[in-house]
Amino acid sequence: MRALILNTSTKTVAVETTPDPKPGPKEILVRVRAVALNHVDYMNTVKPLATQDKRVVGSDFAGEVAQVGKDLDGIDDPRVKIGARVAGFLQGANSVNERPGAFAEYLVVDFDLTWLVPDGISFERAASVSLCGVTAAQAVFYRLHLPSPFWESGVLDSQAGPITVFIYGASSSVGFYAAQLVKLAGKASGKEIRLIGAASASKHALLKEPPYSYDVLVDYRDPQWQETVRKAAGGDGVQYAIDAISQGDTVYNTDSVVQAGGKLAIFRAPAAGGFDMAKIKTRTVFGAVWEALGVDVQYHGGIVIPANEKARASAAAFYKFLSVSAGPNQAVLEPNPIRIMPGGLENIPIDGFALFGAGSKAYTDHRRPVSGEKIVFTVG
């Protein structure tokens, strides 16, 4: 098969041929039809963590089941049927392990870490959901423990008035899904949730409409935005907050709008995010999205995030929920706005990864800067 392969010694990426993978226990072989780019995919080619000479890169994918592991014969699950339309994510090249990534014509993945794509959703749109969707689900349900339609349910405060949730980076990929999941938490609890977000003013009209339906939006460039958020939450601040950016001052600023006793979910460890936990007053919860895969994650310097079976079970429950709750032509989560790029795997390093650098500012065509959308390539 053809795959996008990182040469770790030269830090170059190119399409090469490599043996077709074979599904093992509980795995399915997927014929990849579309892949979506995440910033981490680009960073893993610039600062390789992989110890192999060559490594298939990439995370998000969507495609069709081509073969199933022998132990899955007779399993009553639509995701193990030949021809089933599925999506998911892998951990391509950003850990010291032997696991290949998703930017290839074929891949293998645990069947229960995929979700069934409705017929009315294109592979390109479906490819944008899995990694950022489960990242948001981890924050909303697994870490903030808001009431969930598919996981151990939290209990919202019984005080009078609505619960307040604030999302910084509302128009980011994670932010788009977090808003939809907060709405699902409100339905699961039967309690009103007031959703407040910070994003560029150019995205406010989109964010006010379903499926996001923000009650209050602020422009993060406004020097008074924190005060506006606190007032919108009743003066003391919000009860729950999600910083979808989690980089430097965004953590401190989001922390400043959370009331005493509230909770804040972030997505980077202090060393990676460039902030000091000692300066944060709010009870803060964070973790790596890769915990969803249920395997050890090893980084440079011997840092290891151990396998977390509870996090994996939560992710599997989330993907099953997406599979069984969707309509024939509509997904449970509205996929992110996408930009389908010309070309296939070979164009990812040329046009795709270039979008994450400063050079994209010089273009107005498909290479224009990314804002509030996911970059997607068709495969095959």
Q: What's the pLDDT at 53?
A: 84
- Taking CA atoms, 3 is separated from 7, 103, 110, 297, 347, in Å, by 12, 6, 20, 23, 12
How many other CB atoms are found less than 10 A from the CB of residue 32? 25
**What is the structure's pLDDT at 1?**
97
Query: In which band, very low, low, confident or very high, does the pLDDT at 367 lie, cut at 50, 70 and 90?
Result: confident
With tokens 């960073």, the residue in question is 43
Smallest CA-to-CA distance from 3 within 355, 352, 357, 348 is with 348
- Would you state the pLDDT for residue 204? 98
269 and 155, same domain (yes or no)? yes
Given a contact cutoff of 8 angstroms between Cβ atoms, the answer to whether 42 and 353 are in contact is yes
Percent of the chain having pLDDT more than 90?
A: 69
Cβ count near 250 (within 10 Å): 21
Predicted local confidence at residue 240, as pLDDT: 96
Average pLDDT over residues 358-372: 73
Do 214 and 114 fall into the same domain?
Answer: no
Residues 356 and 314 in one domain: yes
What does the block give as tokens for 109? 């993945």
pLDDT of residue 158: 54
Amino acid at 200: S
Task: Dig out the tokens for 337 from the structure.
Answer: 């706005």
Q: Report whether pLDDT(49) > 80.
A: no
pLDDT of residue 300: 63
Beta-sheet strands, E only, within the chain: 2-7, 12-17, 27-36, 54-56, 60-68, 85-89, 106-110, 114-116, 163-168, 193-198, 216-218, 238-243, 258-266, 283-286, 297-298, 304-305, 338-341, 374-378
Is the domain of 161 the same as that of 186?
Answer: yes
183 lies in the same domain as 48: no
At 5 the pLDDT is 94
Domain termination site, one of 267, 287, 307: 287
On whether both 62 and 100 belong to a single domain, the answer is yes
> What's the DSSP call for residue 104?
B
**C-alpha atoms less than 13 angstroms from C-alpha of 31 in its C-beta half-sphere:** 10
Q: Is the pLDDT of residue 323 over 70?
A: yes
Strand 114-116 and strand 85-89: pairing?
A: antiparallel
Residues 277 and 325 in one domain: no
**pLDDT value at residue 157:** 62
Structural domain ending residue among the three candidates 287, 308, 326: 287
Same domain, 16 and 110: yes
Domain total of the chain:
2
d(CA 6, CA 379): 18
Task: Tell me the average pLDDT across 194-219.
Answer: 97
Same domain, 178 and 251: yes
Helix axes 309-325, 130-137, angle to 10 degrees: 110
The percentage of residues in the chain with a pLDDT greater than 70, rounded to a whole number, is 94
Quick one: 169 and 262 in the same domain?
yes
Q: Is 293 left (phi over 0), alpha (psi -120 to 50) or beta?
A: alpha
Of 287, 305, 330, the one marking the end of a domain is 287
- Do 117 and 44 have their domain in common? yes
Of 304, 266, 271, which is closest to residue 283 (Cα–Cα)? Answer: 266
Establish how many alpha carbons lie within 13 A of residue 308's alpha carbon, considering only the half-sphere containing its beta carbon. Answer: 19
Helix (H, G, I), strand (E, B) or coil at 67: strand
Euclidean distance between CA atoms 117 and 120, whole angstroms: 8
Average pLDDT over residues 214-235: 97
Question: Is 90 exceeded by the pLDDT of residue 80?
Answer: yes
3-state secondary structure 174-199: HHHHHHHHHHHHHHHHCCCEEEEEEC
Q: 33: closest CA among 85, 73, 72? A: 85
CA-based nearest residue to 68, from 57, 55, 56, 79: 79
* Range scoring the smallest mean pLDDT among 13-22, 117-126, 294-303: 294-303
Q: Are 165 and 189 in contact (CB under 8 A)?
A: no
Give, in order, the Cα–Cα distances in Å from 101 to each of 69, 214, 301, 313.
19, 35, 22, 21
Under the banding of pLDDT at 50, 70 and 90, the label for residue 94 is low
Q: Residue 73 pLDDT > 90, yes or no?
A: no
* Mean pLDDT along residues 10-28: 94
Q: Are residues 199 and 345 in the same domain?
A: no
Q: Nearest 10 degrees: CA dihedral of 160, 180, 38, 95?
A: 60
Q: Report pLDDT for 258.
A: 97
The pLDDT score that the predictor gives to residue 209 is: 97
Instruction: Give pLDDT tens digits for 280-308.
Output: 999 888 888 889 999 888 776 667 888 99
The pLDDT tens digits of the residues spanning 231-282 come to 999 999 999 999 999 999 999 999 999 999 999 999 987 877 889 999 999 9
Q: Which residue has the tokens 């997406």?
A: 322
In the predicted model, what is the mean pLDDT of the chain? 91
CATH number of the domain at 362, please: 3.90.180.10
The b/e string for 7-19 (b: 16+ C-beta within 10 A; e otherwise) is bbeeeebebeebe
pLDDT for 195:
98
Average pLDDT (41-62) is 86
Of the candidate ranges 82-86, 98-102, 218-222, the one whose mean pLDDT is the lowest: 98-102
Q: How confident is the model at residue 9 (pLDDT cuts 50, 70, 90)?
A: confident
Report pLDDT for 151.
Answer: 84
Q: What is the pLDDT of residue 182?
A: 96
Domain that holds residue 332: 2-129+293-378
- Residue 371 pLDDT class (50, 70, 90 cuts): confident
Show the tokens assigned to 380. 């095959």
pLDDT at 327: 81
Quick one: pLDDT at residue 338? Answer: 96
CB atoms closer than 10 angstroms to residue 139: 30
How many C-alpha atoms does 190 have within 13 Å on its Cβ side? 1
The predicted-structure confidence for 168-198, as pLDDT tens digits, reads as follows: 999 999 999 999 999 999 998 888 899 999 9
Q: Distance between CA atoms of 164 and 307, rounded to whole angstroms?
A: 33
